[in-house]
Structure 1
Amino acid sequence: MTPRRSADSDTLTFTERARRQQLIECTIDLISAKGYPATSLSAIAEEAGISKAAVLYHFSSKNNLTQATLAHVVAEFTAYIEERVEQAPDPRAAVVAYVRAMISYQRANRRHVRVITEMLLDDKGGTELTTPGRHDTGGRWQTLADLLTAGQEAGLLREFSTPTVALAIGGAIDSVISHWLLHPDLDLEAAADELVTFTLNAIDRRG
């Protein structure tokens, strides 16, 4: 039996860490190009130029590897958003920064968008924790809801249900990105401008 490295091991060598990152990048490439179902361990091994047993040494299953891949993508995405939101001078500006960052990151990282779409947003049935589409995505817009609440508390935004408005803004962002994935000629920079206008019309104080 091939020995396996624990995903939580603190004793990985530099070479092992590099190999794990290579496998994650190969998984991103395959999911983005062929979809989650077609991304088998054998296909990942072939993409990486190693044996399937070598893949299993680092990740004990396809689910283990794809979950590590999703975690990597989400961490990169989250760090990008947080950096830009933290630079905003006030909560209202932070909401605008959030909307623009959501679009700009996805425009620059189409492969990552495909991974998130395949693993979180597509409804393909199966068990909640191990199959794409069965994850609870209700918390995806909690950061935006928190920014909206901060804007209300600062007296910069009108009173409204922050979870509902966060879902509305988030849904608009998702719709634009979904259309762009199918029609890459869509001007995402112009779309971001319209989304900001849409957002401010929804949240700004009247009069």
Structure 2
Amino acid sequence: MRSKNKPDGQKRSFIERARREQIIDAAVRTIAELGYPNASLARIARTAGISKGVISYHFEGKDELMDQVVMDVYTEIGETVVPRMMAQDSSSEALRVHIRGVAEYALEHRERMAALAQIFIHARDARGNPRYGGLQAEPLYEGLENLYRAGQESGEFRDFDVRVMAVSQQSAVDGMFEYWRVHPDHDLPAHAEQLADLLLHAIRVEPSSPAPPTTRSP
């Protein structure tokens, strides 16, 4: 007799979500351990303890699976960092929390960040161009632009081209993670704090220096 509280469709949907999460987790572990070029669907299936056919049932191919890995990691970062940014009283502190937050996430999820770096380095589209970056970074730029505009409207940030600054900040964050990937003992939180200081120094409205006292001729 079927349970009224768990209809077949709902139960099947839950099982399928769980299976997809299992496959994504196996993909992350395999890529982090073996590198992207060696992370075939067959190898990911062995890591997950399932057949390759099960992966093919849930994902059309490696590209779609990688897309989901990237989306999951960025979603997790957003869910971790954005609420903390929203809780700040100023755009300056929100920007600092953003940079600090992504660094803290990376430290807590080294395997996921290692897999992400491998995907960004090696994944290519049909034309042989990097699969991630360029237009795929647009949502990141737009989010930073909104933060800068809020700071400009509140009078915290000076006038500047928000797109130029968004690209510059994201490039600096990417560079921070790449350096940390190559030098895993690097002090990532300290790097994040100094990067935040650098960016805020560049965009904040600095108080005017007091005019020097006038002197009278004798």
TM range, smaller chain? 0.7 to 0.9
Conservation of the 8 A alpha-carbon contact between 2:37 and 2:122: no
Match of 1:180 in 2: 180
After the TM superposition, list the runs of 4 or more consecutive aligned residues in structure 1 that deviate by more than 4 angstroms.
128-131
Mapped contact 2:106–2:113 kept (Cα < 8 A): yes
Q: Give 1:98 shift.
A: 1.2
1:136 paired residue number: 135
The equivalences for 1:11-160 within 5 A come to 12-120=12-120, 122=121, 125-127=124-126, 132-133=131-132, 136-139=135-138, 140-160=140-160
Q: Secondary structure at the match of 1:136?
A: helix
Q: Partner of 1:37: helix, strand, or coil?
A: helix
- SS where residue 12 of structure 1 aligns? helix
Given that 1:20 and 1:58 are in contact with CA atoms closer than 8 Å, whether structure 2 keeps it comes out as yes
Change (3 A) 1:185 1:135: same
Q: How far 1:181 moved relative to its partner?
A: 0.5
Code of the residue aligned with 2:105 in structure 1: it is Y
TM value normalised by structure 1: 0.84
Structure 2: which amino acid aligns with 1:35? G
d(CA) in 2 for partners of 1:182, 1:64: 27
Task: Report how far residue 100 of structure 1 moved.
Answer: 1.2
Q: Which stretch shifts more, 82-91 or 122-131?
A: 122-131
RMSD: 2.5
Bigger CA radius of gyration: 2
- For 2:53 and 2:82, the matched residues in 1 are separated by 38
Conserved 8 A contact 2:36-2:122: no
**Equivalent residues, number:** 198
Distance 1:136 1:37, change over 3 A: farther
Q: Specify the alignment match of 2:214 in structure 1.
A: none
Q: Tell me the CA shift for residue 28 of structure 1.
A: 0.8
SS in 1 for 2:156: coil
Give the % identical residues: 29
Alignment-derived partner of residue 4 in structure 1: none
Indicate if the aligned counterparts of 1:128 and 1:135 stay in contact, CA closer than 8 A: no
Deviations 1:98-155 (A, max 9, x none): 12112211222222222332333x2664337996346534413321121011100111
Call closer, same or farther: CA 1:59–1:123 in 2, change over 3 Å.
Answer: closer
Q: Distance in 2 between matches of 1:116 and 1:142?
A: 21
